[in-house]
């Protein structure tokens, strides 16, 4: 049965570190009653893009992609849920509920936060690293995961890394200007000057 936790303890840290994928959910509040807009759920790969910074603080590396829903929603209302689920023989789902903020490459704290992520990401093209999402948690809960299938990981894809590595800084800036400026509901995600990479 499900359980609430006051903080991320060592057992939960190990569970998080063992998962090859996590899911991020956000939603905009664009109507007069706080509703409306499109709920977004994004899968996140690469194990070393997620870090537990403290008992109730986590962060993950936001990589260049075809949209920027999470960032737009966080800039608007900050609400975020992160879900891990085990695909091995031990069924478990872990949800982390919190308030997130976006840290960009040219902002204070970027270098310190970047140090928490794995070696493969440090060696990746700069174009992959778009932002860091830092979340202060207010609810940590697990559940059984009895209906989640048992699956075997074959390998992580390197397509995003190789795609970014083939792009110049100007090409990546142009891509982000085209794809990452607004959410699908028209909410601002990146400003034009923030689509460029760190110097």
Tell me the per-residue pLDDT of 92-144, one tens digit each, with 9 for 90 and over. Answer: 999 999 999 999 999 999 999 999 998 766 666 666 888 999 999 999 999 99
Tokens at residue 142, please?
């697990």
Domains of the chain: 3-195 (2.30.110.10)
Does this model's pTM top 0.85? My answer is yes
C-beta atoms surrounding 6 within 10 Å? 8
Interior/surface letters 141-170, b for 16+ CB within 10 angstroms, e for the rest: ebbebeeeeeeeeeeeeeebbeebeebeee
């Amino acid at each position: 049965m499900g359980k609430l936790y006051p903080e991320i303890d060592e057992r939960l840290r190990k569970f998080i570190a063992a998962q090859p994928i996590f899911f991020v959910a956000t939603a905009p509040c664009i109507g007069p009653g706080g509703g409306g807009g499109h709920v977004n759920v994004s899968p996140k790969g690469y194990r070393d893009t997620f870090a537990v910074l403290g008992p109730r603080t986590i962060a993950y590396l936001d990589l260049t992609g075809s949209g920027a829903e999470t960032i737009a929603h966080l800039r608007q209302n900050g609400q975020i849920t992160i879900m891990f689920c085990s695909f091995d023989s031990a069924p478990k789902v872990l949800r982390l509920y919190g308030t997130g903020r976006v840290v960009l490459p040219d902002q204070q704290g970027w270098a310190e936060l970047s140090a928490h992520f794995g070696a493969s990401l440090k060696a990746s093209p700069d174009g992959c690293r778009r932002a860091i999402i830092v979340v202060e948690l207010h609810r940590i809960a697990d559940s059984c995961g009895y209906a989640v299938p048992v699956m075997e990981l074959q390998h992580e894809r390197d397509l995003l890394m190789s795609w970014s590595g083939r792009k110049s800084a100007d090409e990546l800036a142009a891509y982000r200007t085209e794809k990452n400026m607004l959410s699908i509901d028209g909410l601002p995600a990146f400003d034009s000057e923030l689509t460029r990479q760190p110097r």
